[in-house]
A = this chain, B = another copy of it.
Amino acid sequence: MTSPLNVHHDVAPLNQGCKTLSVALSGKSHSYPISIGSIGTHSLSQLGGWLQTVTTLKPTGKVLIVTDETVGALYAQFITASIKESYPSATLQLLSLPAGESAKQLDTLTTILTAAQALSLTRSDLLIALGGGVIGDMAGFAASIYYRGVPFVQVPTTLLAMVDSSVGGKVAINFKEVKNGLGQFYQPIGVFIDVATLETLPQREQLAGLAEIVKYGLIERSALGLSVLDTNQPSSQLSASSFWENLATLDSNWREAIVDLIASSCYIKAQVVMRDEQELAPATDATGRVCLNLGHTFAHAYEAALGYGTLLHGEAVAIGLMQATWLSETLGLLNQSTVKTIETLMNALNLYPITLPNHVAKPPCPEQLLQLMGKDKKVTTTGKLRLVLPVEPLGTVVVQEGVPIEAVKQVLLRYF
């Protein structure tokens, strides 16, 4: 499979086949690299050398590695060995937290902050988040508020974290019933992706990551600002539908395409983040950060209603993408044939195009979901629902104001 997007202009060789994208932020935020290791090699063992190129960590610096029990058992040894090799005089501390979304709350955040304090971590030192989105969000939030901000590096080990949460600087924990209710915009000083870690990723989590990649296909034209352009792109530039077309040909061999898919997804997200780092664009501007929210108002409600941890975030996003699609069809924003195309891909990827995942015993009732959707921070305060929805042509989204509650309810009932 060829590169689904022409990202080669942004890719420079790092070492041993790594690809590097750059997220260039203006103003007070720094720019930082996203390095993606090549398939077939375990690039985690090169982390120490990479740190020397992207951080100002001193030889005698301190490093707090935050991970979870699952990921730590598999990969912490490679990281610590690599850092010890590059920084023989550094002080390393490994903090292993309970795995799962249910750990993403204030008590666990306090555990990280306490560990940083016990290590006497300073702004000259480094915090590394090794794990999925929960670890990245939580460790990043800890880094953002500890001493008003210490440097941190994201080492995502799930497909979802690689293409979504590790890029863009949103760090957070859940608070009460609100997902990511407490948080910040705080950029890492680098993202280091070892695709080989995906080999130990459970199938459920692989699928969950694919859901977020499908999202990039659905927002691609909006995210890249292509919706207003003609389809006759110069060949050196992006083709509006290429990412989606490549997605649509995915089959059981998708792992072979994973480096390109990750790079393309990071590229699309980075474009949005560079344009609207802190979500300051109007909430009605679909070229702003809000476009990344496609499917997420649904997803957050399902996650909260079922109890955090029941659904993986990506599973909830897959559900949300389908519901957004059906809602667009109801509102006359999508043709039936386009809806069919989306359903076909979701079906091919086993991404719940008709029923909820098997492990969901009982679907939440629509009234509860609607109430939770009203609490989501992306929704207007007046009670009317504002949602990001897919429109024609495929790959384009709009921010739809005043969506009728009844139409949303009918869509929710399709999973009931």
Residues of chain A touching chain B, judged by Cβ–Cβ distance below 8 Å, are 26-29, 106, 110, 113-114, 117, 120, 122-125, 144-149, 170, 172, 175-176, 178, 180-185, 277-280, 375, 377, 381
Given contacts A28-B278, A117-B176, A176-B117, is CB(A145)–CB(B377) below 8 Å?
no
Complex CA gap A310/B117 in Å reads 23
Closest approach, in angstroms, between the C-beta of A187 and any C-beta of chain B?
A: 12
Residues of B within 8 Å of A27, CB to CB, are 26-28
Please name 18 further chain A to chain B contacts, defined as beta carbons within 8 Å, in addition to the given A28-B28, A148-B183, sorted by A numbering: A26-B27, A27-B27, A27-B28, A28-B278, A113-B175, A117-B175, A117-B178, A120-B381, A122-B377, A123-B377, A124-B381, A145-B183, A145-B184, A147-B183, A147-B377, A148-B184, A149-B184, A184-B184
Which 8 A-B pairs have CB atoms at the shortest separation, nearest pair first? A27-B27, A147-B377, A148-B183, A145-B182, A117-B176, A27-B28, A122-B381, A124-B381
Complex CA gap A57/B146 in Å reads 31
Given contacts A28-B28, A148-B170, A148-B172, is CB(A113)–CB(B278) below 8 Å?
no
Closest approach, in angstroms, between the C-beta of A320 and any C-beta of chain B?
A: 20
Residues of B within 8 Å of A28, CB to CB, are 27-29, 277-278, 280
Residues of B within 8 Å of A110, CB to CB, are 106
Complex CA gap A146/B184 in Å reads 8
Residues of B within 8 Å of A375, CB to CB, are 120
Given contacts A28-B280, A117-B176, A280-B28, is CB(A185)–CB(B381) below 8 Å?
no
Q: Which of A110, A182, A279 has the most CB of B within 10 A?
A: A182
Could you show 24 A-B contacts with beta carbons less than 8 Å apart?
Answer: A27-B27, A27-B28, A28-B29, A28-B280, A106-B110, A117-B178, A117-B181, A120-B381, A122-B377, A122-B381, A123-B377, A125-B381, A145-B145, A145-B182, A145-B183, A145-B184, A146-B181, A147-B178, A147-B181, A147-B182, A147-B183, A148-B172, A148-B184, A148-B279
B113, A148: Cβ atoms closer than 8 Å: no
